[in-house]
Amino acid sequence: MKKLFALALAVMMLLGTVSFASAEDKITLNVWSFTNEFQGMIEKYYAPEHPEIEFNFVIYPTDGGEYTSKVDTLMAADAAGAEAPDVFTLEAAFVKKYTNSAVTADLADVGFTADDFATCIPVMLEIGQDNATGVQKGLAWQSTPGALFYRADLAEKYLNVTTPEEFQEKVADWDTFMETAAELNEASNGACKMFCATGDIWNAYQYNREQGWVVDGKLVIDPVLEDYLDMLKVAEEDDLYNKGSAWTETWYAGMRGDTETMCFLLPTWGLHYTIKPHCVSGGDTMTEEELAAKAAEGEGTYGLWRMVAGPVGYSWGGTWVGTNAAKVATADDAKKAAIKDLVAYFTLNPDFLYTYAMESGDFVSNNAVVDKIVAEGGTPNPFLGGQDHYSAFAVAANLANGKIMTEYDETMNSLFDGNCTQPYIKGEKDKDTAIADFKAAVAAQFPELVVE
């Protein structure tokens, strides 16, 4: 019977007439998320073609851990209950907490196969896997590759660099990056710094690691992190950066040009929602045309930015769609098919992903769709002086290694910065003491881990 149902479903999908229930017998899907983004996408693109599905949307913010707290509480109390999510979204900060646990279902349980994922961007696929088994637990509709954004006017003024290709040579690896930082500092007499905050470097540098923070229940401090500490120690002592912090006025001042900061390491969303809105005072309330007009009047930095891959491929952010293992286990074939179709439509369907990319400007997680957009001319961006950011991100998207991510990352990163990085580079501790203090903090925070 199941084979007959699967065959019929496949035929209907080919004919574009998939329906999972009659009007009298609707399928209900509970969809949980931490913003209204996924709900808006479903209501705009999917629900109108699927009147046989009734969607119940539940949204809790991530502030104070409310979303994960609500998910954890309900899953512990009644994971298969009527109120529990069938499908729920997961952001980078906690995606591994769930894909590495029994809470999320193997997507094979609703009918996915490895062939379905053939054109997915690898890093987003890897992050959605269970680290221990490699089982696919979540899929993403977007990809968030990181890049290095730099001021073309400052590069020409101080480094005699006139093209992105030339600038990439100046930041091809971290040693070269630091050599360029010293060259820039000298050429500008200290007026222009290579970067603003140590956090900017961390988000990219951590992808140099071969192993994540935890392997087989044991804390791992990858050897390259000592190189990271030494690099930032030099930057601190030689005054090679602006000594600011992300999301602060010092950070934004460098984007506006109030202070001279050569580059920022940011992902896809950093271009549209961070640098561009802060390229001029009040820019977060301006239209593209207004930003360009300000630039024509000599205000701000609109049009002066370019982008390159930088020293390392990395990813920062993203949203994954996972399914509730308990609900999948008790679902009938029709509901499993509905769950699969919903997830597949938003994360694998090339027609949807192309339309969504064209309408939103978002960078999607499918290499075939990305290649199509690039082949059609990409997305020339006036903010980048006409440079095509889609083509540039297309290169960066396939460089990052998502296998190093763990469910411990958010806390580990904070403990490493507070107990080790900052005290060491500021001369408050020697390196051995700083690393020992980090280990002690990890042992106190995670007593279940082996810390040597």
Q: State how far the Cα of 155 lies from the Cα of 159, in Å rounded to an integer.
A: 5
Q: How far is CA 191 from the centre of its chain?
A: 32
Angle at 183 between CA 177 and CA 171, to 5 degrees: 20
Q: State how far the Cα of 47 lies from the Cα of 27, in Å rounded to an integer.
A: 12
C-alpha closest to that of 201 among 181, 223, 222: 181
pLDDT of residue 16: 42
> Which domains does the chain show, CATH number per domain?
20-143+317-370 (3.40.190.10), 146-313+401-445 (3.40.190.10)
CA end-to-end span of the chain: 55
User: In sequence order, what DSSP letters do the residues of 42-96 get, joined into one string?
Assistant: IIIIIGGG-TTEEEEEEE---GGGHHHHHHHHHHHHHTTSTTS-SEEEEETTTHH
> Within a 10 A sphere around the Cβ of 135, how many other Cβ atoms?
16
Name the token pair of 272: 């549209």
Is residue 202 a contact partner of residue 415, using CB atoms and an 8 Å limit? no
User: In sequence order, what DSSP letters do the residues of 167-207 get, joined into one string?
Assistant: HHHHTSSHHHHHHHHHHHHHHTTTSEESBS-HHHHHHHHGG
pLDDT of residue 396: 87
Q: State how far the Cα of 452 lies from the Cα of 439, in Å rounded to an integer.
A: 8
pLDDT of residue 13: 44
Is residue 187 a contact partner of residue 158, using CB atoms and an 8 Å limit? yes
Pairing mode, strands 138-140 and 319-323: antiparallel
Q: What burial class does residue 289 get, using C-beta atoms within 10 Å of its C-beta: 0-12 exposed, 13-18 middle, 19+ buried?
A: exposed
Identify the helix (H) or strand (E) that includes residue 384. Answer: none
C-alpha closest to that of 133 among 105, 111, 112: 105
C-alpha closest to that of 283 among 154, 383, 393, 153: 383
Angle at 213 between CA 427 and CA 440, to 5 degrees: 50
Name the token pair of 86: 């069938």
* DSSP symbol at 26: P
Three-state SS for 148? strand
Phi/psi for 384 (5° steps) reads -100, 25
Beta bridge partners of 146: 267
> Within a 10 A sphere around the Cβ of 17, how many other Cβ atoms?
8
Q: State how far the Cα of 204 lies from the Cα of 191, in Å rounded to an integer.
A: 25
One digit per residue, the tens of pLDDT, for the chain of length 452 reads 444 444 444 444 433 445 555 545 789 999 999 999 999 999 999 999 999 999 999 999 999 899 999 999 999 999 999 999 999 999 999 999 999 999 999 999 999 999 999 999 999 999 999 999 999 999 999 999 999 999 999 999 999 999 999 999 999 999 999 999 999 999 999 999 999 999 999 989 999 999 999 999 999 999 999 999 999 999 999 999 999 999 999 999 999 999 999 999 999 999 999 999 999 999 999 999 999 999 999 999 999 999 999 999 999 999 999 999 999 999 999 999 999 999 999 999 999 999 999 998 899 999 999 999 999 999 899 999 999 999 989 988 988 889 999 999 999 999 999 999 999 999 999 999 999 999 999 999 999 999 99
- 403, amino acid identity: K
